[in-house]
Amino acid sequence: MYVAVKGGEHAIEASWRLLDKSRRGDPRLAELSVGQIREQLRLSVARVMTEGSVYDEDLAALAIKQAAGDLVEAIFLLRAYRTTLPRFGYTQPLDSETMVVERRISATFKDLPGGQLLGATYDYTQRLLDFKLMAEAQANGGDSTSGHAAQQPRAALQEPPEAMPRVVTLLNKEGLIEQETPLTGTPEPGDLTREPLAFPASRATRLQNLARGDEGFLLAMGYATQRGYANSHPFAGEIRFGSVTVEMELDELGEAVEIGEIDITECQMINQFAGSTEVPPTFTQGYGLAFGHSERKAMAMALVDRALRAEELGETLASPTQDIEFMLSHSDNVEASGFVQHLKLPHYVDFQAELELVRRLRADHAAQTAQTAHTPDAVEATQASQPHTGHDQEEQAA
């Protein structure tokens, strides 16, 4: 056993060296820097930050580089690093209504206070490969810049637009949408990064779980709600992307101070609600929020959030997308990846036990089959089923 372990160690070390070589690729080409990933693969960086629960563009870019572009592996790396960081406290709740908006659209109202801002998006492109991008890279001989240049905030590059109120305020004026204000005495939300997931889960816990959940899983489940696997008919009330200030209360000062800015994407889905004996027909909401420019993730999150509110709204639970335990337990890609990929680890002893069991069961089955074939009833049935001989044919002819 000791020899096997040592041999395994040497093989693993060799695998590491091969991994480094494979990740680097052709050494004749310029190496992709962390700065280039941060600036040019910003959508991947946003996803890794969101599902890794760390807002740090450089660390997310480093994880993507180390994982050779495998975003789930990069998310795993970032979460693992997160566990080594000290915790200084909690920031104040973000006020997304004061967001400095770069992109803001609504599918419910054409004319909005502040207007609709299309911003930078793939929504209006033709989805055709742009071969000019390949030509530019060849003309430059590959981008060999180090990527360590100081990162300028966007506010320094352009004049930021004014803050815009949310679209739902238009519905609030008529009382047509539910009010989502914390009630007096509402307990502080738990911290899913420090406490294990438990059921029943509050909406605050569910939203934390969905924010860290796999974008692909949430996208599929959100799509399922639109196809009828939930009592849902959504409208994109508002999707906005921009920067918000982060504040933290310092004990030394006794007040909250700004400690920086972060980019977030926020989505508010509006859904019709037939009402109940206590509540008149109204609109309800699904909510999604993610780091960076992550519209698809925020929208899918909002769709799933609304589906998971079925029980509290008195709706019939008829779909897995409305099952809180099912959705929350299977949405985390780090946990799911661990369960699936552990199958690559040695299971020699388990399989040998299964192999012996199947061999024994097959032997028992063969013995039972042979014994059954020699019983009087089985012999008579076998003879009756055999084809007639020539003598039998003569008797039949007579």
Kindly report which listed range (224-228, 236-240, 273-277, 280-284) carries the lowest average pLDDT score: 273-277
pLDDT digits (tens, 9 = 90+) for 379-393: 565 565 555 555 554
User: CB under 8 Å to 191, separation ≥6 — which residues?
Assistant: 208
Give residue for tokens 């780091």.
291
Higher-scoring residue by pLDDT: 138, 54: 54
The answer, yes or no, to whether residue 144 has pLDDT greater than 60, is no
Instruction: Decide if pLDDT at 154 tops 60.
Output: no
Model pLDDT for residues 69-124, shown as the tens digit of each residue = 999 999 999 999 999 998 888 888 888 888 888 999 998 888 887 788 888 999 88
User: What is the model's pTM?
Assistant: 0.81
Out of 181-185, 191-195, 358-362, the most confident range is 358-362
pLDDT of 155 reads 45
- pLDDT range class, residue 220, cuts 50, 70, 90: very high
Q: In this predicted model, what pLDDT tens digit does every residue of 26-51 receive, in sequence order?
A: 888 889 999 999 999 999 999 999 99
One-letter identity of residue 85: L
- As a whole number of angstroms, the distance between CA 72 and CA 54 comes to 14
49 in Cβ contact with 60 (< 8 Å)? yes
User: Rounded to an integer, what distance in angstroms lies between the CA atom of residue 213 and that of residue 323?
Assistant: 15
User: Where do the domains of the chain lie?
Assistant: 1-86+118-148, 96-110+161-343, 351-389
Please give the C-alpha separations between residue 274 and each of 38, 112, 280, 281, in angstroms, as whole numbers.
46, 26, 7, 5
Q: Is the pLDDT of residue 246 over 50?
A: yes
At residue 1, the pLDDT reads 33
Q: Tokens standing for 35?
A: 């700065």
Local confidence band at 22 (pLDDT 50, 70, 90 cut-offs): confident
The predicted model gives 349-374 an average pLDDT of: 90
